[in-house]
Amino acid sequence: MRIILTGFMGSGKTYIGRELAKKLGYKFIDLDEYIIQKEKRSIPDIFKEYGEKYFREIEIKYLKETLEGIDNIVLSLGGGTLQNKNVIDYIKKNGILIFLDADVRSIYHRVKGDQNRPLLAGLTEEQKIEKIKTLLEKRLPLYKQAHYTVRSNLEDSIPEVVENIIRIIKDENIKG
């Protein structure tokens, strides 16, 4: 089984993905980490040197690489990997897509001190909150096309979120 986690920056995809994989005994891949290894550059450096358009192209190339031929994995996507319907359809054909749904307050709290998110770099506090709001609103219709949605706010602990996902997977197994 392939479990793929989507959601906005700061929704907990990496932490939860890693814990989930550990619990299931699956391999864990974080798409951003995979890109950094392959490109031998940080995400901010890729944005700076080649621009967002290039990043979006390689993101899809590496998404396919991570999903092809591998089973029993948990794959955490980047916040912008669900670029369009084609990408979403491709992912849904290749695994169970789960949306980690976090609110603006939780997202802001988790990303505020992080220098590794080029989309939020150089913004004031208010600008960051505004950017999170508008980008989240724009992306919600994409995230909501996931097979399942699991809440991942500040008050939802990592073990709780992991358990909620495991429950979903068990039901999937019963359905076959």
Rank residues 52 and 171 by Cβ distance to ligand S3P and give the closer one.
52
Rank residues 36 and 172 by Cβ distance to ligand S3P and give the closer one.
36
Nearest to 4 by CA among 59, 93, 76: 76
Angle of the 125-143 helix axis to the 104-111 helix axis, nearest 10:
120
> How many CB atoms neighbour CB 57 within 10 A?
12
> How many CB atoms neighbour CB 17 within 10 A?
27
Q: Work out whether 142 is an interface residue with ligand S3P (CB under 6 A).
A: no
Query: What's the closest the beta carbon of residue 61 comes to ligand S3P, in angstroms?
Result: 14
Q: Work out whether 19 is an interface residue with ligand S3P (CB under 6 A).
A: no
Rank residues 61 and 167 by Cβ distance to ligand S3P and give the closer one.
61
Provide the mask over 98-137, with x wherever binding to ligand S3P is found by CB under 6 A and - wherever it is not: -------------------xxx------------------
Q: Work out whether 63 is an interface residue with ligand S3P (CB under 6 A).
A: no
Chain Cα centroid distance, residue 77:
3
Q: Work out whether 9 is an interface residue with ligand S3P (CB under 6 A).
A: yes
> How many CB atoms neighbour CB 45 within 10 A?
13
Nearest to 159 by CA among 16, 26, 27, 29: 16
What does the binding site for ligand S3P look like in residue numbers (CB under 6 A)? 9, 13, 32, 43, 78-80, 117-119
